[in-house]
Structures are given as C-alpha cells and as structure tokens.
C-alpha cells in the first residue's frame, strides 16, 4: 500500500502534528526521504519521538521504514517514467512499421471511387484527428466532411449515401453511438473504415476496412489523465503518403494504356 493510502486510512487517528507531517510528505515526497530524522523533524517542527510515533500510527515499524518506503516509491515512479517514455516512442515506431507494411489497396480504391469522404470522430482527440485528416487530404481534391461529437453520429448517418466513403475514428471502438452508426451504414451499403486502438473491438467488426494505432494512457503516477494521441496523426500522414503513391501508380497505368 502506498504512503498516501496509509495516511488516508489512518487519518482519523492522527493529531494536528501528524497531519502537518502528512502535508509535508505530500508536498516534498521527492526529496524528504533523503533527510535524517533530525532534519525531517526540524522541517516539520516536531520532535524525533513524534516522527517515530507518526510512523507507528500509519502501521509502519518506525522512521527508518517510513524513509525506505518513501525512497522506494520515488525511485519506482522515476523508473516508470523512463520506461513509459521508451514505451511511447516504441509505439510510434510500431505505427510507422504497421502502416508501412499494411496493404491499403482496398482502402485506397474505395477512397478514390467515392464522391465524398466523411470522417467522423466521437471524442476530443478524435475530433482533432478528423480535422487533420481533412487538412492533409485536401490536395487530393476530394470533397471531405469532418464531423465530430457524440451528437453528430445521427447527422453522419443521415448525410451518408452509397457513393460516400465513411471513416470512423474511435479510441476503444466500443462507444454505443459509433457502433450504432457503423451498423446503420452497413445496412445502407456504405463503405466504411474504422481507425481504433489495436484491440479486438465491436466497431471494427461492423466496418469493411480497419486500421489500428497503439494508444497508451499515462500511468497513474502522472499528474494528468491523458491518452497519447500522436499515433493517430502519424497514421494519417503516412496514409496520405501511401495514397499519393497509389494515385501516382494509378495515373501511370492510365497513361501507359493510352
């Protein structure tokens, strides 16, 4: 159990001096484990005995064990941060390799034949991706609608027809709105592509084509609740480059036939 959890569990048993020690630990966790018992007591304006009793109150044998626990938690957190950064950069490389080796011919054929491309995202990060998709693919001179938000799923369903190609961007692929949308589009015979996290998901099952990204949430010891979204943008840009290659080869074949 982490120090914060121990302090919370026994908080009602603590006196004012103990609560001040709690506050000091929370505000100085990264450095207080380096202090001697005399230095720690001085910082909290309490006696060494009070510190020892505090440790006992939160179920630790003594001050040495309190310091050891703090040190372990800080070092573990620092190691996790380093490992997490490695994991994130590795996920970027995985997306690059994935889209590089992925045969996108069927996707590109549907994009090329479609009169319009409708890109829909159901979350904040996905909304940014839909906007970026439209920006990057504008040179293709395709009519592109980017739509986002849970309340726009019905609008996409009403707008789309058999001549369109609909791209649905969802993190989990399990949102009820996107699943209903994909199901409705399939019944109408509209070609669809899902872009989701690389997990087995319901949305992918309803779409004709599927692309995946490695999206990673920040570990719980980070301050902010955040899901890494950069892989979406990497995928979109590489998809555009591959589509340009597809068009170039397509035009070359047409010219050769003439």
- For residue range 161-207, list pLDDT tens digits in order: 999 999 999 988 999 999 999 999 999 999 999 999 887 789 998 99
Does 145 fall in a domain?
yes
Which residue range is the domain that position 171 belongs to? 102-257
* DSSP label at residue 219: P
Does residue 39 sit in the same domain as residue 140? no
Does residue 44 sit in the same domain as residue 169? no
Task: Name the one residue in this structure whose structure tokens are 């484990």.
Answer: 33
Mean pLDDT of 142-151: 91
Q: Smallest Cα–Cα separation from 235: which of 104, 113, 138, 118? A: 104
Mapped onto helix, strand or coil, the DSSP state of residue 210 is strand
Does 214 fall in a domain?
yes
Does 195 fall in a domain?
yes
Does residue 43 sit in the same domain as residue 111? no
pLDDT at 130: 94
Does residue 35 sit in the same domain as residue 110? no
Token pair belonging to 107 = 């996707």
Structurally, how many domains does the chain consist of?
A: 2
Does 176 fall in a domain?
yes
- For residue range 70-121, list pLDDT tens digits in order: 888 777 776 655 567 777 888 888 899 989 999 999 999 999 999 999 999 9
C-beta separation of 130 from 119 below 8 A: yes
Q: How confident is the model at residue 7 (pLDDT cuts 50, 70, 90)?
A: confident
Question: Rounded distance, CA 223 to CA 51, Å?
Answer: 28
Q: Under 8 Å CB-to-CB from 256, ≥6 apart: which residues? A: none
C-beta separation of 33 from 74 below 8 A: yes
Beta strands per DSSP E along 109-217 = 116-121, 143-148, 164-169, 191-197, 209-213
Q: Under 8 Å CB-to-CB from 200, ≥6 apart: which residues? A: none
Does residue 69 sit in the same domain as residue 114? no
Question: Rounded distance, CA 130 to CA 137, Å?
Answer: 11
Does residue 23 sit in the same domain as residue 140? no
Question: Rounded distance, CA 136 to CA 88, Å?
Answer: 24
Does 97 fall in a domain?
no
Token pair belonging to 36 = 């001697």
Looking up residue 218, the CATH number of its domain turns out to be 3.40.50.10490
Does residue 122 sit in the same domain as residue 211? yes
Question: Rounded distance, CA 228 to CA 42, Å?
Answer: 42
Does residue 152 sit in the same domain as residue 210? yes
pLDDT at 80: 58
C-beta separation of 204 from 210 below 8 A: yes
Looking up residue 65, the CATH number of its domain turns out to be 1.10.10.10
Does residue 242 sit in the same domain as residue 172? yes
Does residue 134 sit in the same domain as residue 215? yes
Judged against a pLDDT cut of 70, whether residue 26 lies above it is answered with yes
């Amino acid at each position: 159990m982490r120090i914060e959890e121990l302090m919370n569990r026994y908080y009602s048993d603590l006196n004012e001096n103990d609560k001040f020690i709690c506050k000091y630990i929370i505000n100085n966790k990264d450095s207080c484990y380096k202090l001697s018992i005399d230095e720690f007591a001085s910082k909290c304006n309490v006696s060494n005995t009070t510190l020892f009793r505090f440790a006992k109150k939160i179920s630790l044998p003594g001050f040495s064990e309190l310091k050891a626990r703090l040190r372990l938690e800080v070092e573990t957190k620092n190691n996790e941060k380093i490992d997490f950064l490695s994991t994130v950069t590795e996920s970027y490389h995985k997306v690059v390799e994935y889209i590089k080796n992925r045969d996108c011919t069927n996707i590109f054929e549907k994009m090329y034949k479609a009169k319009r491309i409708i890109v829909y995202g159901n979350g904040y990060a996905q909304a940014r991706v839909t906007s970026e998709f439209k920006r990057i693919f504008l040179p293709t001179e395709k009519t592109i609608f980017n739509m986002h938000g849970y309340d726009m799923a019905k609008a996409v369903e009403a707008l789309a027809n058999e001549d369109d190609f609909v791209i649905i961007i969802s993190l989990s692929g399990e949102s009820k709105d996107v699943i209903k949308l994909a199901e409705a589009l399939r019944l109408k015979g509209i070609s669809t592509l899902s872009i989701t996290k690389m997990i087995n998901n319901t949305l992918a099952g309803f779409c004709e084509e599927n692309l995946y990204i490695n999206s990673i949430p920040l570990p719980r010891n980070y301050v902010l609740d955040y899901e890494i979204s950069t892989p979406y943008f990497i995928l979109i840009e590489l998809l555009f480059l591959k589509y340009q290659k597809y068009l170039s080869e397509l035009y070359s074949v047409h010219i050769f036939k003439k």
